[in-house]
Chain A
């Protein structure tokens, strides 16, 4: 069974840092591209960042570029999101999400349960 389990969320002051983790199991993690998607309280979904299976290709949304860093450790079946210079508008539930292979239409077929990040003084 595919499982994605996020951790690392919490309350942080504006300007602070936080590192999110996503532990993957039930599939060959090293073969899949992964993403972070966030959802502000009561709002819609926003794509945050993408990393290819080998970490060779990385992308960020303009809203987080220069402040967030995505990475992965295939040996540990883990995905990470280092978040620096956090702002109130970064407050959201952060989901890790898997992209299925062999499809021209990118979608997210498995999601974690999410971890809440609250940026507030």
Chain B
């Protein structure tokens, strides 16, 4: 299985901060990488697909980049509603996709 490792595991930031979360794959996955946001007690929500494409309806302060093994999710200016847990997911080995362990974004 392709292992996905996110860093950091948790992060404290303030409203208005620029935040970057990193996801590393155990092998090259080209651009087959998606990002999700999950709030407590809720289902995950797709933010970014194919490494850098913004899902419809997602604010433009979210962006994704990377290819191969290293990827980043950037939030340009944190809003109160952005405090959540973020997961990356590889679909190179579809349908047996795998997720990162998650990055918890907390209010400083």
Contact = CB atoms under 8 A, between A and B. Distances in A.
Our verdict on whether A and B bind, yes or no, reads: yes
A104 B53 CA distance: 13
Interface stretch (A7-15, A24-32, A43-51, A73-81): A43-51
B87 interface: yes
Contact of B44 (A100, A104, A111): A111
Contact of A61 (B87, B91, B96): B96
A108 B36 CA distance: 9
Contacts of A46: 99
B96 A59 contact: yes
Contact of A106 (B31, B43, B91): B91
Interface residues of B, number: 26
B101 A107 contact: no
Interface string B74-102: 00000000000001010100111111111
A43 to B, nearest CB: 8
Which DSSP category, helix, strand, loop or mixed, fits chain A's interface?
A: loop
A95 B43 contact: yes
A105 B32 contact: yes
Interface of B: 31-34, 36, 42-46, 49-51, 55, 87, 89, 91, 94-102
21 contacts: A35-B95, A44-B99, A44-B101, A45-B102, A47-B96, A47-B98, A50-B95, A95-B43, A100-B49, A103-B49, A104-B50, A105-B32, A105-B34, A105-B51, A105-B91, A106-B32, A107-B49, A107-B91, A108-B44, A111-B45, A114-B43
Interface of A: 35, 44-47, 50, 59, 61, 95, 100, 103-109, 111-114
